[in-house]
Structure 1
């Protein structure tokens, strides 16, 4: 089936693809967002929205609903062996003095509603892209769907199809990934800790345990492991949390469970003729630190005005070069921060762990150090 020509085709209706769709539709462009899933996922993975991304969401008219649906995390607290060792405020941004915690399905629903309000036909679900070709003037995209094969032509193609991007694999087949010696088990449970809206890190010799508040008196727990936790259960995660931290987690209240390993990948190029790689398709980073989704949103916010100018016939070659340079630098910085976060959570002998924690505690008492760390954690 041949669909009408479009200004931009976006592959991937995740948070990044949907946000770019909103920005382009608001400019009046004809946009189609192709998504292979027939329905939105109800699994909540990415939850943290940082101040710079909240600023871009606000400019798009999207922040108010998300803030109303989320939890404002204004402080991080670190414990070890049952004792509080440090605190870090997340209040440095004058407009958004917090990190917002929102379940990913809520975020995607808000973004999808914004897209459909602008164009009810913009999202094409069940469309699995299998091929594309750039003839120098337009891009032709072929996809399979339950109703047959789809063919679209577009002036531009944007790949926001995630870390396993088919488009990136076709454009950069030899782009290597870096694997890390870190595995994690993550789950959401009813919160009985009394930590309120604080993010909590338990720096323990066996490995870090992270804990974040979510709406509805729910708390996310993330435990660092030395090997993949295939087949682990909610009871296994609850037992690990209690063994390392002493916190009692009700396994029966579990609403999400996920085991994952970590790798990173930075595409050598984001722009390939009339095709642009965006978000995880361009730069996969560790989810520890929660910067990946935000990084993709900031990509989209920087790209959207350049797309608009290009579609109006303006020359944007130099601006695209600067865009690519700036966004790759931001991705490298975020990847480094995520690597430091993972290193912080790896097991250490108890004596070395105690000395390291004491150094961190004293360092964070210095206003300059505290402000620098806060800026790193909040992506400012």
Structure 2
């Protein structure tokens, strides 16, 4: 009999949440994380309704609500004019909490459920499947070892090496651009996001807990590698003069979209960013991974430890939801691309239409992951 029911590769937000759900079901779980310390990089900040439901199921929803800022809506602007104003329904509010803090709450919950489940500094080097179990080869500070389990869940991110080892394809989807971001102190950050869809490229800002606001700027002709460069670009595109610490260093990232050709092979299954990369412009990648985790936990709890799960339905559902999310994100990105005057005028008309009274509720639903 395998020593574990499930081994999860990767202790990001999706792997951690899945581990909590499975432990609550009474399954034996090990989480292998190659980093020795928690990842403190500034990454995802938005928690949508489906994600919050998943966090509730994992037992951390109350703690997240206590620390998060509630985003009640947003505005879309272009050429110094407001094109649309949206207010999110009370049951569709978006919570704002930096990912390192969300991860910390999930780690604490995992520790409370099983002090031994998370193994840090543990790199999975190979996965070998047999008829009734999977052997997971690991490299740890204590040397090489092997774990056995009924199912392996690969949650090791966009650059997953195991996905390639399994021979699963990784296909590019529409939507690709480069951005820089910087968190700036702001006395009154408010509770609304602002998107500036300017001819020179997108500028967006989101309030953060603790009196700060995150600014994200799509790369264009300007040099955005320094705080001064980002400040100048924001001023030139929007007319807003930021008070920025000149020593601050903007973080750059590429927004791209990919989808795995399948999300399981035998007893090995992909979740989260290992299964689909969704542009963060739209804020749905992490939350979609949590939705995957809830669905997968239900499938595994029904089957294990008695028999191997049938994951064909899960596979179809994950890829279908990812396709919808990627289409939405590709549209959001196109609205913020640098563009000539005729294109800008056309998309301004479209954004006014989407923000008008007959469509306003539908548009807000798309932005808050309704239907995913």
TM-score bin, normalised by smaller chain: over 0.9
**1:102 and 2:93 aligned:** no
Task: Find the partner of 2:216 among 222, 227, 231.
Answer: 222
Equivalent residues, number: 369
Matching residue of 1:376? 366
Matching residue of 1:118? 113
**1:54 and 2:49 aligned:** no
**1:263 and 2:256 aligned:** yes
Residues 59 and 109 in structure 2, CA contact (< 8 A), matched pair in contact too = no
Which region of structure 1 is more displaced relative to structure 2, 139-148 or 28-37?
A: 139-148
Q: Deviations over 1:322-367 (max 9, x none)?
A: 2211111000000111101110101122354234313421442133
**1:191 and 2:186 aligned:** yes
Matching residue of 1:31? 29
Q: Distance in 2 between matches of 1:163 and 1:254?
A: 31
Q: What is the TM-score normalised by the length of structure 1? A: 0.91
Residues 181 and 226 in structure 1, CA contact (< 8 A), matched pair in contact too = no
Residues 182 and 226 in structure 1, CA contact (< 8 A), matched pair in contact too = no
Aligned alpha-carbon RMSD (Å): 2.1
Alignment of 1:1-380 (within 5 A): 5-91=3-89, 96-172=91-167, 174-178=169-173, 180-191=175-186, 196-226=190-220, 232-252=225-245, 257-313=250-306, 316-317=309-310, 320-367=311-358, 369-380=359-370
Report the alpha carbon displacement of residue 264 of structure 1 after superposing the two structures with TM.
1.8
Q: Distance in 1 between matches of 2:271 and 2:210?
A: 32
Which structure 1 segments of 5+ residues have no match? none
Residues 179 and 262 in structure 1, CA contact (< 8 A), matched pair in contact too = no
Please state whether the residue corresponding to 2:170 is helix, strand or coil.
coil
Report the alpha carbon displacement of residue 180 of structure 1 after superposing the two structures with TM.
4.6
> Structure 2 vs 1, CA of residues 69 and 256 (structure 1 numbering), >3 Å: closer, same or farther?
farther
Q: Distance in 2 between matches of 1:253 and 1:83?
A: 29
Q: Deviations over 1:148-194 (max 9, x none)?
A: 112111111000000011111111354333475511111111125x5
Q: Distance in 2 between matches of 1:155 and 1:352?
A: 54
Q: Distance in 2 between matches of 1:303 and 1:184?
A: 33
